[in-house]
Amino acid sequence: MSLVIGEALVDVVTRGDGDSAEYVGGSPLNVAVGLGRLGRTVEFVTQIGDDPRGRWIARHLDRSGVTLEPGSICAQRTATAHATVEATGKATYEFDIQWDLPTPSTTCSPHLVHTGSIAAVMEPGCDVVADMLARRRPYATISFDPNVRPTLIADSARARARIEHLVSMADIVKASEEDLQWYDPDRDTEDIALAWLCRGPATVVVTKGAEGAFAVCPRGAVEVAAPAVEVIDTVGAGDAFMAGLLDGFWSHGFLGAESREALHAIEPDELRDVLDDATLVSALTVTRPGADLPTREALDRATEEL
């Protein structure tokens, strides 16, 4: 089973024509939902309010096969993200969120723990998240997606230090080119990926939007193209890629502490297969409005059509 830790919120999406709609979102929530829809067992630790949006989130998780951990309904109000979608489909965000995660009561022993985005850097909850990862690393694969939200970062140096700490703890790291450009605008993204790899992960994967993705691992580097699709919007695209990435590693038997050595010795061809899975999950998501990640059945159909 897997444990996902992080924010859950409602995306209020405004498109170029002025139309507005709301969708359940939050980067870690999207990853949890993506794994759940792909048939994986997922428990989710978050912070939502006992209000209409919070209850909507709880129903959304349940319908996607994700278990909401007890104690997660503890916020004064459910967080929101106001997303503005450009003509290209790219979305920019403004957030109304607090992250004061109480120490969770979960005692599960997952073989995968994932976190990232706001939950990883926003105080004071980020300290609880880091502690949860450290406690579970002896028996679980750790995955991390910084998914940087610059408008929420008051102290860039402190945020970079927190990201570096989680990179060092993680086995699987996924970041976007934008994340790495924020982290160090004066360095090439591949150089940053290689530097992060030296901190301890088995692989560092970098997404490049419509251009696909590349990854580095101790045995080499690989690059894959993104499937050509008609983009409705990119809301949740990176989270869908993350869910597909973890599902791919899961299918290939690379998750769990007992598989850590094998994961760190992964061959580039095996890594390419996993990246192909991830790009397809992301491509299916951007063809629909909001972060509407595919089910296993939809993914299998798309794979057969390739």
* Partners of 25 in beta bridges: 9
> What's the pLDDT score for residue 303?
83
How many domains does the chain contain in total? 1
Question: How far is the first Cα of the chain from the last one, in angstroms, to the nearest whole number?
Answer: 30
Structure tokens at 206: 């970098």
The two tokens of residue 223 are 């690059």
Closest CA to 223 of 280, 175, 285, 269: 269
DSSP line for 110-167: -SEEEEETHHHHSTTHHHHHHHHHHHHTTTSEEEEE----GGG-S-HHHHHHHHHHHH
Contact 9, 47 (CB under 8 A): no
Parts of the chain with a pLDDT under 50: none
CATH number at residue 130: 3.40.1190.20
Q: What is the pLDDT of residue 135?
A: 93
Burial of 154 (C-beta count, 10 Å sphere; 0-12/13-18/19+): exposed
Q: Can you give the pTM of this predicted structure? A: 0.93
Does a cis peptide bond (omega within 30 degrees of 0) precede residue 124? yes
Give residue for tokens 């998240």: 129
Beta bridge partners of 22: 12
Residue owning tokens 């251009």: 211
* Residue showing tokens 């790291």: 173
CA angle 153, 21, 242 (to 5 degrees): 50
Burial of 288 (0-12, 13-18, 19+ CB in 10 A): middle
* Structure token digits, residue 213: 């993705």
Distance CA(186)–CA(211), nearest Å, equals 21
Q: For residue 24, what are the β-bridge partners? A: 10
Containing structural domain, residue 162? 2-305
pLDDT (tens digit, 9 = 90+) per residue, 63-101? 999 999 989 999 999 999 887 877 666 777 789 999 998
pLDDT at 15: 72
Q: With contact defined as beta carbons under 8 Å apart, do 227 and 283 qualify?
A: yes
